[in-house]
Amino acid sequence: MLRRSRTAGVRNVIITGGSLKESQHALRMAKDYGMFATVGCHPTRSQDFDKFDAGPEAYLRALDNTIAKHKTGKGRVVAVGECGLDYDRLFFSPAETQKKYFRMQLSLAKKHNLPLFLHSRNCHSDFVQILREEGFGEDGGRALGGRGGVVHSFTGAKEEIDELLEMGFHFSLNGCGMKTQENLEAAAKIPLDRLLLETDAPWCSLTSTHASSAHLKTLPKPLSDVFFPPSSKTFVEGKMVKGRNEPNAIGGVAWVVSKLHGVTLEEVAEAVWKNTCELFALEDPLPEMDVPKVAAAVVARVAAAAAGPSAPSLKSESAFPALGRR
């Protein structure tokens, strides 16, 4: 998987933590592979606070201590989250529980001066109310120690974009935010200087039933071959597993965004790269993840094959920052 991602231009990965246990696992993987990670509790797991043997406050302290121990060095934490609200899946955790522990986690971003990695589903009013009440209503909470954040896997309405932009937040898009024509219209409204891209792998694939498919049909074959390589229904060495998203598909997300904004693929990649490095305080040039490097000739061959009057300019060193769980 990592070799396929590198071939597709992914230079590094941020692994998302969805619970205390997952966050600790993400940090171990990030250290092993030279990646980055987030630490937090997803709203659908927010009952983990109550189930924790020593109680909710101890769970928060455990998250706090995990962040404190991994703020520097290889495999460091770069954001607090994934946290937020999800009213589409209240069967996992009731709204009041989600709100209580979303609010608690915001204190970690202020304490550690880290950006937020946010989740928002069908909850905009409560979502922004809590952010405002906790000091994130202006400039991403920087006056109180925060450092903004990204509403990841954004699927909200165009009207929500204006309010979150005014509050100082970024947006990240993946296949889930490109399912409908309304999604595409919202995606086109997000300014490039506030945009990040992700795959949310292994979920949120771009599929032929999505509105985005019309744009993907214009993707040159050399790029399609590396962004969407062959797959198999079962595990086969060297192939993707059918239906399982991977970081290499981020190039397809970028291609759709380039069409929506009327710019080149390279312009999207460069803007998103800059935004990602600035938001998460990543050094640029970014160190490569620890996987066997793809021969430069392979990447150069892909770039050369893609070059032409109907294709974007894609330099051999072009790379997309990838946000995803795995």
Q: Residue positions in the annotated binding site?
A: 82, 119, 152, 200
Please count the CA atoms within 13 angstroms of the CA of 206 that sit on its side-chain side. 30
Which is nearest to 146 in space by CA: 104, 119, 106?
A: 106
**Rounded CA separation 26/326 (Å):** 9
Which is nearest to 111 in space by CA: 39, 161, 183?
A: 39
Backbone angles phi, psi at 273, to 5 degrees: -60, -50
Coil, strand or helix at 73: coil
**Mind giving me the DSSP string for 79-139?**
EEEEEEEETT-TTTS-HHHHHHHHHHHHHHHHHHT--EEEEEES-HHHHHHHHHHTT-SSG
Structure tokens at 259: 């069409």
Helix, strand and coil in the chain, % to nearest 5: 45, 15, 40
**Rounded CA separation 229/317 (Å):** 20
Which residues are known binding-site members for a divalent metal cation?
A: 82, 119, 152, 200
Angle at 317 between CA 315 and CA 322, to 5 degrees: 110
**Rounded CA separation 303/312 (Å):** 9
CB 98 within 8 A of CB 46: yes
